[in-house]
Amino acid sequence: MRKMLKICIIVGARPNFFKVAPLVWAVRKEAASGVPVTCQIVYTGKAGDGDIEASLLADLELSNGEVDWLGVDAKRINELTGRVMEAFDQWLDTHEVDVVIVVDDLASTMATAIVAKKRGLRLAHLVAGTRSFDITMPKEINRLVIDGLSDLLFTAGEGGSTVVSKGGGDLSKVYMAGNILMDTLRHFQNRLRRPALMDSAQLADGAYILFTLNRKALTEDDQRLAPMLDQLVEISQKVPVVAVLRNEAQSAVSRLLPGDHAKFLITGPLPYLEFGYMSAHAKGVVTDSGNVAEEATFNRVPCITLNSYTEHIETVKVGTNVLAGEDAGVLRKALNNMVDGKWKDGRLPDRWDGRTAERIVKILLEE
């Protein structure tokens, strides 16, 4: 009789949930057909974390029983790394695991990857091979360490696979599984919820610009952020701008806004299905998030990324995304093109077909 495969999936931050939910759905499907496989999500943060809205698990069709919480909270990266390592090591003392799947490039991702390998467990990296090629970035170090330790490297596309091979990675470990975020977007494409704020603000579909911000390089530097906001406030006189912002980003933006910004609307975080609706129905998106830029390409919505690079270069090469860096002049031109409908056509990159989780689970079962 085939041995039960026990999978542990690590989540280090809210966006990771969107990428791992399809894995849980795929495991459920296999188990329902009689395949001996189970999985458990382990979130390194606390239950009731301020970034995790109460509706998130329900929105993603996950049950409370499918998520454990390590409860680690720390501001300093190295402190967080050490505390996550200790907490996950203790969790493994009482849970039998065959393979650990880690997602993306957080400090907590690296911490759990190290513990898994020290425990002799198989380690799989989801969205492997992403690089900024800037070694001064903590996340770049995390990526190098995680890819180097992993037994299985699941890349989102040819770019990620190429990076791994050029870095000396063992190609027998590399699988171009595809972009797993697309599994989630396709699954919920017809289940999104129009937010009440759109009615209260009298926002019509396709008649607003969605703005998100998260990078500390901008939120903690007024001189960098202010010129960007000036351009967004100016374009809001033509098309309303809705800023969906969390905590520090909301404080930074509110502090720098000029007195007259009636059409630049600020709101706090939205439930997943409501934000998804706003992203899918926007005239355009301005963001510093790779995930949000991917959503825009999926939805064929024009997108401007406030960064000089993206780990998801396919959104620029074949999708709807353009890079504005931190240049207010470039942003101004791009915003006017967006409002005037002068935007490039985008198409879906390879392996954005919604079957990534299915491919990953089958590979794990065959290994």
The pLDDT tens digits for 70-94 are 999 998 999 999 999 999 999 999 9
- Residues contacting 339, CB < 8 A, separation 6+: 209, 235, 238, 239, 283, 284
Q: Work out the angle between the directed axes of helices 290-299 and 272-280 (0-180°, nearest 10).
A: 50
Q: Please report, rounded to a whole number, the percentage of residues in the chain having pLDDT higher than 90.
A: 84
β-bridge partners, 115: none
The residue assigned the tokens 């493994």 is 92
- Which of 232, 195, 251 lies closest to 335, judged by CA? 232
**What is the pTM assigned to this prediction?**
0.93
Tens digits of residue pLDDT in 21-43: 999 999 999 999 999 999 999 99
Quote the tokens at residue 270: 């939205």
pLDDT at 167: 61
pLDDT at 130: 87
Tens digits of residue pLDDT in 298-352: 999 999 999 998 888 899 999 999 999 999 999 999 999 999 999 999 999 999 9
pLDDT at 136: 86
pLDDT at 260: 77
pLDDT at 48: 73
Q: Collect the ranges in the chain with pLDDT lower than 70.
A: 1, 158-169
Alpha carbons 13 and 106: distance in angstroms, whole number: 8
